[in-house]
Protein backbone atom coordinates (compact mmCIF):
# COMPACT_ATOMS: atom_id res chain seq x y z
CA UNK A 1 0.00 0.00 0.00
CA UNK A 2 1.41 3.40 -1.00
CA UNK A 3 -0.18 5.40 1.83
CA UNK A 4 -0.49 8.43 -0.43
CA UNK A 5 -3.70 10.33 0.32
CA UNK A 6 -6.26 9.93 -2.47
CA UNK A 7 -9.25 11.95 -3.62
CA UNK A 8 -11.78 9.67 -1.94
CA UNK A 9 -10.15 10.17 1.46
CA UNK A 10 -9.96 13.92 0.92
CA UNK A 11 -13.64 14.08 -0.02
CA UNK A 12 -14.53 12.88 3.48
CA UNK A 13 -12.96 15.99 4.99
CA UNK A 14 -14.82 19.21 5.75
CA UNK A 15 -14.51 21.51 2.68
CA UNK A 16 -14.15 24.56 4.92
CA UNK A 17 -11.33 22.84 6.77
CA UNK A 18 -9.59 22.08 3.49
CA UNK A 19 -9.99 25.68 2.36
CA UNK A 20 -8.54 27.01 5.61
CA UNK A 21 -5.68 24.49 5.43
CA UNK A 22 -4.88 25.63 1.89
CA UNK A 23 -4.83 29.26 2.96
CA UNK A 24 -2.72 28.44 6.00
CA UNK A 25 -0.12 26.62 3.91
CA UNK A 26 -0.01 29.47 1.39
CA UNK A 27 0.43 31.91 4.26
CA UNK A 28 3.40 29.89 5.49
CA UNK A 29 4.82 29.77 1.97
CA UNK A 30 4.69 33.56 1.70
CA UNK A 31 5.82 34.30 5.26
CA UNK A 32 9.11 36.28 4.96
CA UNK A 33 10.46 34.99 8.28
CA UNK A 34 10.00 31.38 7.21
CA UNK A 35 11.52 32.00 3.80
CA UNK A 36 14.50 33.78 5.34
CA UNK A 37 14.97 31.04 7.93
CA UNK A 38 14.97 28.42 5.17
CA UNK A 39 17.66 30.24 3.19
CA UNK A 40 19.80 31.35 6.13
CA UNK A 41 19.61 28.34 8.45
CA UNK A 42 20.41 24.91 6.96
CA UNK A 43 18.69 23.04 9.81
CA UNK A 44 15.23 23.87 8.47
CA UNK A 45 16.07 22.58 4.99
CA UNK A 46 17.72 19.46 6.40
CA UNK A 47 14.68 18.59 8.51
CA UNK A 48 12.19 19.02 5.68
CA UNK A 49 14.31 17.49 2.89
CA UNK A 50 12.66 14.02 3.00
CA UNK A 51 9.26 15.61 2.32
CA UNK A 52 10.67 17.78 -0.47
CA UNK A 53 12.33 14.79 -2.15
CA UNK A 54 8.91 13.65 -3.39
CA UNK A 55 8.64 16.83 -5.51
CA UNK A 56 12.20 18.09 -6.11
CA UNK A 57 14.05 15.90 -8.58
CA UNK A 58 17.63 16.84 -7.71
CA UNK A 59 19.77 19.37 -5.87
CA UNK A 60 21.86 20.23 -8.95
CA UNK A 61 22.21 19.70 -12.68
CA UNK A 62 24.31 16.59 -12.21
CA UNK A 63 21.47 14.82 -10.44
CA UNK A 64 18.89 16.28 -12.80
CA UNK A 65 20.49 14.84 -15.93
CA UNK A 66 20.86 11.46 -14.26
CA UNK A 67 17.12 11.33 -13.59
CA UNK A 68 15.49 12.89 -16.64
CA UNK A 69 16.35 9.84 -18.82
CA UNK A 70 14.54 7.60 -16.31
CA UNK A 71 11.29 9.51 -16.86
CA UNK A 72 11.85 9.68 -20.61
CA UNK A 73 12.37 5.91 -20.77
CA UNK A 74 8.95 5.48 -19.17
CA UNK A 75 7.37 7.37 -22.07
CA UNK A 76 7.06 10.90 -20.67
CA UNK A 77 8.04 14.25 -22.05
CA UNK A 78 9.95 16.33 -19.52
CA UNK A 79 10.12 19.92 -18.40
CA UNK A 80 12.68 21.60 -16.16
CA UNK A 81 12.63 24.58 -13.85
CA UNK A 82 15.39 25.79 -11.54
CA UNK A 83 13.49 26.15 -8.29
CA UNK A 84 13.66 29.48 -6.50
CA UNK A 85 11.87 32.68 -5.63
CA UNK A 86 11.63 36.22 -6.96
CA UNK A 87 15.07 37.68 -7.73
CA UNK A 88 15.25 41.22 -6.40
CA UNK A 89 18.79 42.30 -7.18
CA UNK A 90 21.11 42.17 -10.17
CA UNK A 91 23.36 39.48 -8.68
CA UNK A 92 20.43 37.11 -8.11
CA UNK A 93 19.12 37.70 -11.61
CA UNK A 94 22.54 37.06 -13.11
CA UNK A 95 22.92 33.83 -11.13
CA UNK A 96 19.55 32.48 -12.27
CA UNK A 97 20.14 33.46 -15.90
CA UNK A 98 23.59 31.86 -15.83
CA UNK A 99 22.08 28.69 -14.37
CA UNK A 100 19.66 28.40 -17.28
CA UNK A 101 22.39 29.14 -19.80
CA UNK A 102 24.47 26.32 -18.35
CA UNK A 103 21.40 24.07 -18.29
CA UNK A 104 20.85 24.66 -22.01
CA UNK A 105 24.51 23.99 -22.78
CA UNK A 106 24.53 20.71 -20.82
CA UNK A 107 21.18 19.69 -22.27
CA UNK A 108 22.72 19.38 -25.71
CA UNK A 109 25.00 16.56 -24.59
CA UNK A 110 22.69 14.91 -22.06
CA UNK A 111 21.69 12.06 -24.37
CA UNK A 112 17.96 12.70 -24.17
CA UNK A 113 15.85 11.49 -27.07
CA UNK A 114 13.60 14.57 -26.97
CA UNK A 115 14.34 18.15 -25.94
CA UNK A 116 13.12 19.27 -22.55
CA UNK A 117 10.86 22.25 -22.04
CA UNK A 118 12.46 24.91 -19.85
CA UNK A 119 10.32 27.12 -17.65
CA UNK A 120 10.63 30.05 -15.29
CA UNK A 121 8.96 33.10 -13.79
CA UNK A 122 10.03 36.37 -15.39
CA UNK A 123 10.56 37.67 -11.86
CA UNK A 124 13.45 35.21 -11.63
CA UNK A 125 15.21 36.65 -14.68
CA UNK A 126 14.85 40.34 -14.01
CA UNK A 127 11.28 41.64 -14.31
CA UNK A 128 11.39 43.11 -10.80
CA UNK A 129 14.34 45.21 -11.97
CA UNK A 130 12.78 46.11 -15.32
CA UNK A 131 10.71 44.51 -18.05
CA UNK A 132 13.58 45.13 -20.46
CA UNK A 133 16.00 43.14 -18.29
CA UNK A 134 13.63 40.16 -18.22
CA UNK A 135 13.00 40.40 -21.97
CA UNK A 136 16.70 40.59 -22.84
CA UNK A 137 17.63 37.67 -20.58
CA UNK A 138 14.78 35.51 -21.88
CA UNK A 139 15.59 36.35 -25.51
CA UNK A 140 19.20 35.24 -25.01
CA UNK A 141 18.05 31.95 -23.52
CA UNK A 142 15.51 31.40 -26.31
CA UNK A 143 18.25 31.89 -28.91
CA UNK A 144 20.50 29.42 -27.14
CA UNK A 145 17.73 26.82 -26.77
CA UNK A 146 16.38 27.01 -30.32
CA UNK A 147 19.12 24.98 -32.08
CA UNK A 148 18.41 22.12 -29.68
CA UNK A 149 14.69 22.22 -30.41
CA UNK A 150 13.99 23.26 -26.83
CA UNK A 151 11.22 25.66 -25.89
CA UNK A 152 10.93 28.06 -22.99
CA UNK A 153 7.67 28.37 -21.11
CA UNK A 154 7.01 31.66 -19.33
CA UNK A 155 5.14 30.96 -16.11
CA UNK A 156 2.32 33.12 -14.80
CA UNK A 157 2.57 35.03 -11.53
CA UNK A 158 0.43 37.23 -9.28
CA UNK A 159 -2.27 39.23 -11.03
CA UNK A 160 -0.40 42.50 -10.40
CA UNK A 161 2.41 41.25 -12.65
CA UNK A 162 0.31 39.98 -15.57
CA UNK A 163 0.45 43.15 -17.68
CA UNK A 164 4.26 43.15 -17.65
CA UNK A 165 4.40 39.41 -18.37
CA UNK A 166 2.14 39.76 -21.40
CA UNK A 167 4.10 42.74 -22.70
CA UNK A 168 7.36 40.78 -22.51
CA UNK A 169 5.76 37.68 -24.06
CA UNK A 170 4.36 39.58 -27.04
CA UNK A 171 7.73 41.19 -27.72
CA UNK A 172 9.46 37.82 -27.59
CA UNK A 173 6.80 36.09 -29.71
CA UNK A 174 7.61 38.45 -32.58
CA UNK A 175 11.09 36.98 -32.86
CA UNK A 176 11.04 33.54 -31.24
CA UNK A 177 8.88 30.58 -32.22
CA UNK A 178 10.05 28.56 -29.20
CA UNK A 179 8.45 30.78 -26.55
CA UNK A 180 5.30 29.59 -24.76
CA UNK A 181 3.04 31.16 -22.16
CA UNK A 182 1.07 30.09 -19.11
CA UNK A 183 -2.44 31.48 -18.58
CA UNK A 184 -4.56 31.22 -15.43
CA UNK A 185 -8.21 30.29 -15.88
CA UNK A 186 -9.09 31.73 -12.47
CA UNK A 187 -8.37 35.34 -13.50
CA UNK A 188 -11.36 37.25 -14.86
CA UNK A 189 -9.07 39.12 -17.24
CA UNK A 190 -7.95 35.94 -19.04
CA UNK A 191 -11.09 36.10 -21.21
CA UNK A 192 -9.71 39.27 -22.82
CA UNK A 193 -6.06 38.23 -22.61
CA UNK A 194 -6.75 35.22 -24.83
CA UNK A 195 -7.85 37.54 -27.61
CA UNK A 196 -4.44 39.24 -27.63
CA UNK A 197 -2.31 36.12 -27.05
CA UNK A 198 -3.84 33.53 -29.40
CA UNK A 199 -3.03 35.34 -32.68
CA UNK A 200 0.69 34.81 -32.01
CA UNK A 201 0.12 31.07 -32.49
CA UNK A 202 2.39 30.09 -29.64
CA UNK A 203 1.88 27.22 -27.24
CA UNK A 204 -0.38 27.94 -24.26
CA UNK A 205 -0.11 26.14 -20.93
CA UNK A 206 -3.50 26.44 -19.24
CA UNK A 207 -3.63 26.25 -15.44
CA UNK A 208 -6.27 27.03 -12.85
CA UNK A 209 -3.95 29.35 -10.91
CA UNK A 210 -2.36 28.97 -7.47
CA UNK A 211 -2.32 32.52 -6.12
CA UNK A 212 -4.78 33.89 -3.57
CA UNK A 213 -6.61 36.66 -5.42
CA UNK A 214 -9.55 38.90 -4.51
CA UNK A 215 -13.04 37.98 -5.72
CA UNK A 216 -13.09 40.90 -8.15
CA UNK A 217 -9.91 39.53 -9.74
CA UNK A 218 -10.40 35.76 -9.81
CA UNK A 219 -12.83 32.91 -9.29
CA UNK A 220 -12.39 30.54 -6.33
CA UNK A 221 -11.96 26.81 -6.85
CA UNK A 222 -15.19 25.07 -7.75
CA UNK A 223 -17.48 24.03 -10.58
CA UNK A 224 -17.68 27.54 -12.04
CA UNK A 225 -13.91 27.65 -12.44
CA UNK A 226 -13.87 24.15 -13.94
CA UNK A 227 -16.47 25.19 -16.52
CA UNK A 228 -14.48 28.32 -17.34
CA UNK A 229 -11.31 26.23 -17.76
CA UNK A 230 -13.11 23.93 -20.21
CA UNK A 231 -14.46 26.90 -22.14
CA UNK A 232 -11.01 28.50 -22.41
CA UNK A 233 -9.51 25.18 -23.52
CA UNK A 234 -12.11 24.81 -26.26
CA UNK A 235 -11.37 28.33 -27.42
CA UNK A 236 -7.63 27.68 -27.62
CA UNK A 237 -8.16 24.42 -29.50
CA UNK A 238 -10.55 26.05 -31.96
CA UNK A 239 -7.95 28.72 -32.68
CA UNK A 240 -5.36 26.04 -33.40
CA UNK A 241 -2.70 26.89 -30.84
CA UNK A 242 -0.77 24.02 -29.23
CA UNK A 243 -2.07 23.69 -25.68
CA UNK A 244 -1.04 21.86 -22.54
CA UNK A 245 -3.60 20.99 -19.89
CA UNK A 246 -1.65 21.54 -16.67
CA UNK A 247 -3.65 20.24 -13.72
CA UNK A 248 -3.55 17.62 -10.99
CA UNK A 249 -7.32 17.83 -10.50
CA UNK A 250 -8.85 14.45 -11.37
CA UNK A 251 -12.37 15.90 -11.45
CA UNK A 252 -11.39 18.61 -13.92
CA UNK A 253 -9.58 16.12 -16.14
CA UNK A 254 -12.64 13.87 -16.07
CA UNK A 255 -14.81 16.81 -17.11
CA UNK A 256 -12.48 17.65 -20.01
CA UNK A 257 -12.27 14.01 -21.01
CA UNK A 258 -16.05 13.70 -21.03
CA UNK A 259 -16.22 16.57 -23.50
CA UNK A 260 -13.66 14.92 -25.78
CA UNK A 261 -11.06 17.63 -25.22
CA UNK A 262 -8.13 15.61 -23.87
CA UNK A 263 -7.76 13.71 -27.13
CA UNK A 264 -7.16 17.05 -28.89
CA UNK A 265 -4.56 18.68 -26.65
CA UNK A 266 -0.82 18.61 -27.22
CA UNK A 267 -0.25 17.12 -23.77
CA UNK A 268 -1.32 16.78 -20.17
CA UNK A 269 1.25 18.17 -17.76
CA UNK A 270 1.74 17.55 -14.06
CA UNK A 271 4.48 18.53 -11.66
CA UNK A 272 6.82 15.76 -10.61
CA UNK A 273 5.55 13.91 -7.56
CA UNK A 274 1.96 15.10 -7.92
CA UNK A 275 -0.45 12.20 -8.54
CA UNK A 276 1.85 9.99 -10.66
CA UNK A 277 -0.72 7.18 -11.06
CA UNK A 278 -3.25 9.65 -12.46
CA UNK A 279 -0.81 10.95 -15.05
CA UNK A 280 0.25 7.40 -15.89
CA UNK A 281 -3.36 6.43 -16.57
CA UNK A 282 -3.58 9.06 -19.32
CA UNK A 283 -0.15 8.20 -20.69
CA UNK A 284 -1.16 4.54 -20.90
CA UNK A 285 -4.16 5.61 -22.99
CA UNK A 286 -1.80 7.15 -25.52
CA UNK A 287 -2.29 10.80 -24.56
CA UNK A 288 1.09 12.61 -24.52
CA UNK A 289 2.06 13.47 -20.96
CA UNK A 290 4.77 15.74 -19.59
CA UNK A 291 6.34 15.63 -16.15
CA UNK A 292 7.44 19.12 -15.13
CA UNK A 293 10.46 18.70 -12.88
CA UNK A 294 12.15 21.18 -10.59
CA UNK A 295 15.67 21.01 -9.24
CA UNK A 296 17.78 23.11 -6.90
CA UNK A 297 17.97 23.86 -3.21
CA UNK A 298 15.68 26.84 -2.61
CA UNK A 299 12.50 24.75 -2.56
CA UNK A 300 10.55 26.15 0.44
CA UNK A 301 7.93 27.86 -1.72
CA UNK A 302 7.62 24.89 -4.07
CA UNK A 303 7.04 22.38 -1.27
CA UNK A 304 4.47 24.52 0.54
CA UNK A 305 2.57 25.22 -2.68
CA UNK A 306 2.38 21.49 -3.44
CA UNK A 307 0.89 20.82 -0.02
CA UNK A 308 -1.44 23.82 -0.29
CA UNK A 309 -2.76 22.58 -3.60
CA UNK A 310 -4.00 19.39 -1.95
CA UNK A 311 -3.80 19.76 1.87
CA UNK A 312 -4.32 16.08 2.75
CA UNK A 313 -0.87 15.43 1.27
CA UNK A 314 0.52 17.10 4.38
CA UNK A 315 -0.02 13.66 5.92
CA UNK A 316 2.06 12.13 3.14
CA UNK A 317 4.79 14.70 3.86
CA UNK A 318 4.80 13.80 7.56
CA UNK A 319 5.05 10.11 6.68
CA UNK A 320 7.96 10.89 4.34
CA UNK A 321 9.73 12.73 7.16
CA UNK A 322 9.42 9.66 9.36
CA UNK A 323 10.27 7.12 6.66
CA UNK A 324 12.34 8.77 3.87
CA UNK A 325 12.83 5.48 2.01
CA UNK A 326 9.14 5.64 1.01
CA UNK A 327 10.15 8.10 -1.71
CA UNK A 328 11.55 6.10 -4.64
CA UNK A 329 12.25 8.16 -7.72
CA UNK A 330 10.13 7.23 -10.72
CA UNK A 331 8.55 4.18 -9.08
CA UNK A 332 4.93 5.38 -9.33
CA UNK A 333 5.25 6.46 -12.96
* Structure confidence by residue, pLDDT tens digits, 261-280: 999 999 999 999 999 999 99
How large is the angle between the packed helices 162-173 and 190-197, nearest 10 degrees? 10
Say if residue 212's pLDDT is above 90. no
Cβ neighbours, 10 Å, residue 167: 14
- The three-state secondary structure class of 2 is coil
Mean pLDDT for the chain overall: 93
Domains of the chain: 1-55+310-323 (no CATH), 62-298 (3.20.20.220)
pLDDT value, residue 2: 43
218 CB contacts (<8 Å, ≥6 apart)? 159, 184, 186, 187, 188, 209, 211
Average pLDDT over residues 88-116: 94
Average pLDDT over residues 251-262: 98
Of the pLDDT bands very low, low, confident and very high (cuts 50, 70, 90), residue 14 is confident
CA distance 170 to 175: 9
pLDDT value, residue 10: 54
pLDDT value, residue 4: 52
pLDDT value, residue 5: 52
- Prediction pTM value: 0.92
Q: Which string of DSSP letters, residue by residue, matches 85-103?
A: ----SHHHHHHHHHHHHHH
Average pLDDT over residues 226-243: 98
Average pLDDT over residues 300-320: 90
pLDDT value, residue 6: 56
> What is the length of the chain?
333
pLDDT value, residue 97: 98
pLDDT value, residue 9: 54
Say if residue 96's pLDDT is above 80. yes
Amino acid sequence: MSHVVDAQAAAALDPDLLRLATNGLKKLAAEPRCRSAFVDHPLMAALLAPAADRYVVAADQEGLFERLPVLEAKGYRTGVEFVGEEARDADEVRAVTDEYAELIERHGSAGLAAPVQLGFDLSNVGSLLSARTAADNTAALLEAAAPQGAGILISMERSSLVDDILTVFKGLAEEHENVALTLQAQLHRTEQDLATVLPWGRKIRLVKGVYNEAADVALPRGSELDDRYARFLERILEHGNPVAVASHDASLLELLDGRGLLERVEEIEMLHGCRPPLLKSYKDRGIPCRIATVYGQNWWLHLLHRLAEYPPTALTALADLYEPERVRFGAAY
